[in-house]
Structure 1
């Protein structure tokens, strides 16, 4: 009998948690001034291309990527660097009057001293929808 009560209380608790929303909406996704569509995604509305954009940056390897003898033990691909680069690229697109970036591609490379990041995309403006 105790197991049935415990299962019933657990089921009630789980069903009630779906009814409540947090007061402050929680989101782990960064917000950008334009819509972002990666190379395998497409907007669901018609658009016209404005300009192809590219953003590059190199940063030195950080101490956790090297051993005492100077060998690299961990590659770059820092998500904060990617988000910062994407924010800068989206601001550039917004200044051109774009509504979105499409075909966004992110590449990284490493050398013995640097991490390199390249972000490419096409700034586009949505066309008015015809009725």
Structure 2
């Protein structure tokens, strides 16, 4: 009887807790994004190679006592780079950004980064049923 009461109590509490951050929270970019290992499911024509690059200073948590503790940019910085790249693609009239690659380097004072991709326009699909 005591075990049953504990079980009922635990089951009633499980609905009280909700996750703070959802793992499926995907940013909404102005064009579709396909990383280097992905391809869109439809044919396309390349428009232009695009690139965003720059450097940001290391933050205090990345090094201590002249030792590197972590490298690269955080997710917020990466999403900002990708947003800039997708806006460039949209301004060219692209439908998608393919072959997106992110590379970085770290020096004693900075994180350098480059994000590249190819702006593409989807080919018009021919409706064979209409013929």
Provide the TM-score with structure 1 as the length reference: 0.77
Q: Which residue of 2 aligns with 1:128?
A: 124
CA contact (8 A) 1:45 1:126 kept: yes
Unaligned runs of 5+ in 2: 16-22
- 1:27-75 Cα offsets, whole Å, 9 max, x none, are 51111000000111111111111000011021000011121x3332221
Unaligned runs of 5+ in 1: 11-16, 18-25
CA contact (8 A) 1:33 1:90 kept: yes
Alignment of 1:114-125 (within 5 A): 114-125=110-121
The answer to whether residue 34 in structure 2 is matched with residue 37 in structure 1 is yes
Equivalent residues, number? 118
Q: Which residue of 1 aligns with 2:19?
A: none
Q: For residue 82 of structure 1, give the secondary structure of its aligned residue in structure 2.
A: helix
